[in-house]
Amino acid sequence: MSEFAASHKSISQLVIRLHESNSKFRVLVLIDGVIYFFNHQTKCLSRFSLSIGKNGLDDVILDDSVLSYSKSIRLAFVSCELPLGLIASIHSSRRRTDLETQTAWFDHLRTALASVRRRRLSLLTSEKTTCHPFVKRGAELMEIPLFELKLAKGESVDQWSNEILAQCPSESTISISPEIFNSQCPKPPIDYFLMVLAKCVFVIAAKKNGNTVASASKILQSPDCEKNVFVANLNDLVAEPIREELSRLGAVNWLLLGESTQVDGGGETEDAVVEPETSRIIPLKEWSDSIDFVFHCTRQRRGAWPDQSEQELVDQLLAAEAENRSACDVLMRIASMRTLIASNKLNRAKANVVCFTERSLENVKSMRVFRSHLSKWDFEPFGVGIRRSVIVELGGREVQYGTDESYAQLAVSDRPFFQVAMGSVNSNARIDWTKECEWRVIGDIDLGEIATEDMVFFVSDIQSARRLQSVWEGVIIVMHSDSMHQIRSS
């Protein structure tokens, strides 16, 4: 029980205090998911109706005694400019991190944003939700008014109210209090509060037993629900049993008409242009210089490119212009840019380095492994080989393997080249990192400054090799023998 459980009068006093603290804000009382205005003159509550035909009020006066029987009571401190009855929210369950492949998801997101603008609604979002970065940027690009909801964390109602009185939130922020009368009441997901305040709710993806489904179900079952809840009618986004259940509760199945906008992934096509110098495509078994090279393997990229801001990525995704980021796509980008961009993500010394292995390409074929701590495959059959002597000229060195104790004894200049010999990424597995026979170079590597004969690119198959020919004129090694006959027949 909270500090307000003993007296209804105390909650009235708190609401009055907050109401009088700033004339640009007002206090809403949320009782079991229903919005009420508090009339500080009559000390009564009036229910807010989302139906504009009812002029916003049902004129239902509630006696304070009703509060005792409510399961959940919270306060919302909102700007007087908040257009209650003209708010939309967009919701989704968590998605895979390879966002550039989520074409249908972004098609529905763009359609929802366009619908919000066409209806002249405002958007409500929260930074804790899946859609937030895209809704926020989309609202900015499409000039849609945007409000952000902030849900009180673990603090008490007193702490929450004191923070508001000490520093008033921005007019675009909606601040929701903790539970007032029942501190043991389960905390609903933030999607639920967005839906409580919205007139139009768009569900673009939902999973069984997820927060999005639970929130939508609870909202649709609330008394006299006046909301429009639209659910994406696509199995890849919302499974049919979920759609049927939400539809039974009053949701509307939402089907996009026409062809989906396709993301330009720069992928390989059957009629890709192939340069005539097919002799530069060499089967691995016919390439004998492996011992003189060290190799950098590419892997699938999630999120922004190393030289790209998060906002640039979001803009690309919203515009359906994002590139695919498979291991082959990453290699294509490296060849086009003629640059290997260094990273400090996995370097204990936080130095920006480019990593290589001195294991032969024949060995690399058998080293492919899934790294659970990265949720990615390592040693994919795609990458760049550079002559070892060139790497040495660039300041590259073999990695020094050791223990945590030996790392502490290294000179600062040597620490970027250290790797713990035996490590674990979870409680069940230990990894012998020495098998990677790693080399490192500090800083980006400009491939344009390296002679073509001192570099090779390697790929899994002939189709990838043909893609690469459009941006690389040097040697391309094909790793897998099952596609070798295609070279001969080209």
Q: What is the pLDDT of residues 321-335, one digit of tens each?
A: 667 778 898 999 899
pTM of the model: 0.67
**pLDDT given for residue 391 in this prediction:** 96
From CA 123, how far away is CA 139, in angstroms rounded?
A: 7
Give CA angle at 391 (387, 393), nearest 5°. Answer: 115
Q: CA torsion sign, 237 to 239 to 242 to 246?
A: positive
Within 13 Å and on the Cβ side, how many CA atoms surround 456?
27
Q: How far is CA 224 from CA 49, 51, 213, in A?
A: 9, 11, 19
From CA 310, how far away is CA 320, in angstroms rounded?
A: 15
Alpha-carbon Rg for the chain in angstroms: 29
Q: How far is CA 145 from CA 121, 130, 202, 318, 450, in A?
A: 8, 19, 17, 18, 51
424 three-class SS:
strand
From CA 203, how far away is CA 211, in angstroms rounded?
A: 11
Amino acid at 348: R
Stated length of the chain: 490
pLDDT digits (tens, 9 = 90+) for 265-293: 333 333 333 334 434 899 998 898 888 99
**pLDDT given for residue 245 in this prediction:** 94
CB contact burial 458-480 (16+ within 10 A = b; e otherwise):
bbbbbbbbbbbbeebebbbbbbe
Weakly modelled stretches of the chain, pLDDT under 70: 1-10, 40-43, 50-70, 154, 182-185, 224, 257-279, 321-322, 372-376, 424-429, 481-490
Instruction: Tell me the H-state helices in 26-131.
Output: 103-118
Amino acid at 325: R
All domains of the chain in start order, with CATH: 8-254 (3.40.50), 278-488 (no CATH)
